[in-house]
Amino acid sequence: MANYELDPLPYDYDALEPHVSEQVLRWHHDTHHQGYVDGWNTAEETLAANRDAGTTDGSAGAMRNVTHNGSGHILHDLFWNCMGPDGGDEPEGALRDRIEADFGSYDAWKAEFEAAASAAGGWALLVYDSHSEQLRNVVVDKHDQGALWGAHPILALDVWEHSYYHDYGPARGDFVDAFFAVVDWQEPTRRYGEAIALFE
Protein backbone atom coordinates (compact mmCIF):
# COMPACT_ATOMS: atom_id res chain seq x y z
CA MET A 1 0.00 0.00 0.00
CA ALA A 2 1.32 3.41 -0.95
CA ASN A 3 2.01 5.95 1.78
CA TYR A 4 1.57 9.44 0.37
CA GLU A 5 3.65 12.31 1.70
CA LEU A 6 3.51 16.08 1.44
CA ASP A 7 6.48 17.43 -0.51
CA PRO A 8 7.96 20.75 0.62
CA LEU A 9 7.12 23.83 -1.39
CA PRO A 10 9.52 24.31 -4.33
CA TYR A 11 10.30 27.83 -3.03
CA ASP A 12 10.37 29.73 0.28
CA TYR A 13 7.07 30.59 1.96
CA ASP A 14 7.60 34.29 1.31
CA ALA A 15 8.78 33.84 -2.29
CA LEU A 16 5.46 34.80 -3.89
CA GLU A 17 4.88 38.00 -1.91
CA PRO A 18 3.21 40.42 -2.35
CA HIS A 19 0.92 38.38 -4.61
CA VAL A 20 0.45 35.45 -2.23
CA SER A 21 1.39 36.02 1.40
CA GLU A 22 3.71 33.88 3.47
CA GLN A 23 0.88 33.28 5.94
CA VAL A 24 -1.46 31.94 3.26
CA LEU A 25 1.22 29.61 1.88
CA ARG A 26 1.97 28.26 5.37
CA TRP A 27 -1.69 27.63 6.15
CA HIS A 28 -2.55 26.36 2.69
CA HIS A 29 0.43 24.05 2.23
CA ASP A 30 1.30 22.87 5.71
CA THR A 31 -2.20 22.47 7.12
CA HIS A 32 -4.74 22.31 4.31
CA HIS A 33 -2.76 20.29 1.79
CA GLN A 34 -1.48 18.03 4.57
CA GLY A 35 -5.10 17.24 5.39
CA TYR A 36 -5.65 15.79 1.92
CA VAL A 37 -2.51 13.68 2.17
CA ASP A 38 -3.64 12.35 5.56
CA GLY A 39 -7.17 11.75 4.27
CA TRP A 40 -5.89 9.77 1.29
CA ASN A 41 -3.64 7.62 3.50
CA THR A 42 -6.49 6.95 5.94
CA ALA A 43 -8.83 5.94 3.13
CA GLU A 44 -6.24 3.56 1.69
CA GLU A 45 -5.69 2.04 5.13
CA THR A 46 -9.43 1.43 5.48
CA LEU A 47 -9.62 -0.26 2.08
CA ALA A 48 -6.56 -2.41 2.78
CA ALA A 49 -7.92 -3.48 6.17
CA ASN A 50 -11.29 -4.33 4.65
CA ARG A 51 -9.67 -6.41 1.92
CA ASP A 52 -7.65 -8.31 4.51
CA ALA A 53 -10.76 -8.88 6.61
CA GLY A 54 -12.93 -9.84 3.64
CA THR A 55 -15.47 -7.12 4.32
CA THR A 56 -16.69 -4.01 2.54
CA ASP A 57 -18.04 -2.19 5.60
CA GLY A 58 -17.10 1.45 5.07
CA SER A 59 -15.43 0.74 1.72
CA ALA A 60 -17.77 2.94 -0.33
CA GLY A 61 -16.99 5.97 1.82
CA ALA A 62 -13.28 5.18 1.71
CA MET A 63 -13.38 5.00 -2.08
CA ARG A 64 -15.02 8.43 -2.19
CA ASN A 65 -12.31 9.70 0.15
CA VAL A 66 -9.63 8.32 -2.18
CA THR A 67 -10.99 10.32 -5.13
CA HIS A 68 -11.62 13.48 -3.10
CA ASN A 69 -8.41 13.54 -1.08
CA GLY A 70 -6.29 12.01 -3.82
CA SER A 71 -7.45 14.61 -6.32
CA GLY A 72 -6.88 17.34 -3.73
CA HIS A 73 -3.31 16.16 -3.18
CA ILE A 74 -2.52 15.82 -6.90
CA LEU A 75 -3.99 19.19 -7.85
CA HIS A 76 -2.27 21.01 -4.98
CA ASP A 77 1.07 19.54 -6.03
CA LEU A 78 0.47 20.89 -9.53
CA PHE A 79 -0.69 24.27 -8.19
CA TRP A 80 2.49 24.83 -6.17
CA ASN A 81 4.63 23.89 -9.17
CA CYS A 82 2.74 26.23 -11.51
CA MET A 83 3.94 29.25 -9.53
CA GLY A 84 7.33 30.68 -8.72
CA PRO A 85 9.19 33.84 -7.74
CA ASP A 86 10.41 34.25 -11.33
CA GLY A 87 6.95 33.72 -12.81
CA GLY A 88 4.61 36.16 -14.42
CA ASP A 89 5.61 35.32 -17.96
CA GLU A 90 3.61 33.79 -20.82
CA PRO A 91 4.04 30.32 -22.33
CA GLU A 92 6.43 29.84 -25.21
CA GLY A 93 7.27 27.21 -27.79
CA ALA A 94 5.03 24.25 -28.52
CA LEU A 95 2.61 24.98 -25.67
CA ARG A 96 2.13 28.58 -26.81
CA ASP A 97 1.55 27.38 -30.36
CA ARG A 98 -1.02 24.86 -29.18
CA ILE A 99 -2.86 27.41 -27.03
CA GLU A 100 -3.10 29.72 -30.03
CA ALA A 101 -4.27 26.88 -32.28
CA ASP A 102 -6.93 25.61 -29.87
CA PHE A 103 -8.18 28.94 -28.46
CA GLY A 104 -7.36 31.43 -31.21
CA SER A 105 -4.85 33.41 -29.15
CA TYR A 106 -3.20 33.49 -25.75
CA ASP A 107 -5.50 36.34 -24.69
CA ALA A 108 -8.59 34.34 -25.72
CA TRP A 109 -7.35 31.35 -23.72
CA LYS A 110 -6.63 33.55 -20.70
CA ALA A 111 -10.09 35.16 -20.81
CA GLU A 112 -11.74 31.74 -20.91
CA PHE A 113 -9.50 30.44 -18.09
CA GLU A 114 -10.43 33.47 -15.98
CA ALA A 115 -14.10 32.72 -16.67
CA ALA A 116 -13.50 29.17 -15.41
CA ALA A 117 -11.82 30.56 -12.30
CA SER A 118 -14.76 32.88 -11.61
CA ALA A 119 -17.26 30.02 -11.87
CA ALA A 120 -15.43 27.17 -10.13
CA GLY A 121 -16.18 25.92 -6.65
CA GLY A 122 -12.69 24.49 -6.47
CA TRP A 123 -10.34 24.67 -9.43
CA ALA A 124 -9.79 26.17 -12.84
CA LEU A 125 -7.71 23.78 -14.91
CA LEU A 126 -6.04 23.83 -18.29
CA VAL A 127 -5.97 20.20 -19.42
CA TYR A 128 -4.95 18.23 -22.44
CA ASP A 129 -8.07 16.30 -23.49
CA SER A 130 -6.72 13.06 -24.95
CA HIS A 131 -10.12 12.05 -26.34
CA SER A 132 -10.56 15.22 -28.41
CA GLU A 133 -6.80 15.79 -28.81
CA GLN A 134 -6.95 19.41 -27.76
CA LEU A 135 -6.30 21.73 -24.86
CA ARG A 136 -9.37 22.59 -22.85
CA ASN A 137 -10.24 24.77 -19.84
CA VAL A 138 -12.23 22.92 -17.20
CA VAL A 139 -14.31 24.12 -14.25
CA VAL A 140 -13.89 21.66 -11.37
CA ASP A 141 -15.91 21.86 -8.17
CA LYS A 142 -14.30 20.58 -5.00
CA HIS A 143 -11.46 18.44 -6.41
CA ASP A 144 -13.17 15.85 -8.55
CA GLN A 145 -16.59 17.13 -9.66
CA GLY A 146 -16.58 18.24 -13.27
CA ALA A 147 -13.27 16.58 -14.10
CA LEU A 148 -13.01 15.13 -17.60
CA TRP A 149 -12.06 11.50 -18.12
CA GLY A 150 -8.87 11.14 -20.12
CA ALA A 151 -7.76 14.70 -19.38
CA HIS A 152 -4.16 15.39 -18.39
CA PRO A 153 -3.89 18.49 -16.14
CA ILE A 154 -1.44 21.09 -17.45
CA LEU A 155 -2.10 24.17 -15.27
CA ALA A 156 -4.04 24.38 -11.99
CA LEU A 157 -5.45 27.37 -10.12
CA ASP A 158 -6.99 26.75 -6.70
CA VAL A 159 -9.93 29.12 -6.19
CA TRP A 160 -11.27 27.69 -2.94
CA GLU A 161 -11.69 30.59 -0.50
CA HIS A 162 -8.80 29.41 1.68
CA SER A 163 -6.49 30.27 -1.26
CA TYR A 164 -7.21 33.96 -1.25
CA TYR A 165 -9.60 35.27 1.42
CA HIS A 166 -6.87 36.19 3.89
CA ASP A 167 -5.08 38.28 1.25
CA TYR A 168 -7.93 39.50 -0.97
CA GLY A 169 -11.20 39.05 0.88
CA PRO A 170 -14.05 38.27 -1.51
CA ALA A 171 -12.20 39.78 -4.51
CA ARG A 172 -11.47 36.50 -6.27
CA GLY A 173 -10.67 38.31 -9.51
CA ASP A 174 -7.81 40.14 -7.81
CA PHE A 175 -6.41 36.79 -6.68
CA VAL A 176 -6.67 35.43 -10.23
CA ASP A 177 -4.72 38.48 -11.43
CA ALA A 178 -2.14 37.78 -8.73
CA PHE A 179 -1.83 34.18 -9.91
CA PHE A 180 -0.88 35.39 -13.38
CA ALA A 181 1.78 37.61 -11.79
CA VAL A 182 3.52 34.49 -10.39
CA VAL A 183 2.52 31.76 -12.84
CA ASP A 184 5.58 29.83 -14.03
CA TRP A 185 5.07 27.99 -17.32
CA GLN A 186 7.96 25.54 -16.94
CA GLU A 187 5.85 22.85 -15.25
CA PRO A 188 2.82 23.26 -17.58
CA THR A 189 5.18 23.08 -20.56
CA ARG A 190 6.74 19.90 -19.21
CA ARG A 191 3.35 18.35 -18.55
CA TYR A 192 2.09 19.31 -22.01
CA GLY A 193 5.09 17.58 -23.57
CA GLU A 194 4.40 14.54 -21.41
CA ALA A 195 0.77 14.46 -22.53
CA ILE A 196 1.66 14.75 -26.20
CA ALA A 197 4.19 11.94 -25.88
CA LEU A 198 1.56 9.72 -24.24
CA PHE A 199 -1.50 10.49 -26.29
CA GLU A 200 -0.59 11.78 -29.76
For the chain, the domains span: 22-81, 93-199
Mean pLDDT by groups of 10 residues along the chain of 200 residues? 91 98 97 97 97 95 96 97 96 97 98 97 96 96 88 96 94 97 97 89
pLDDT of residue 145: 86
Q: Is 32 annotated as a binding residue?
A: no
pLDDT of residue 117: 97
pLDDT of residue 33: 98
The pTM (predicted TM-score) of the whole model is 0.94
Q: Is 158 annotated as a binding residue?
A: yes
The reply to whether 22-81 and 93-199 are identical in fold is: no
Q: Is 162 annotated as a binding residue?
A: yes
The CATH code of domain 22-81 reads: 1.10.287.990
Q: Is 77 annotated as a binding residue?
A: no
Q: How far apart (Å, rounded) are the C-alpha atoms in residues 146 and 98?
A: 23
**Fold held by 93-199:** minor pseudopilin epsh fold (3.55.40)
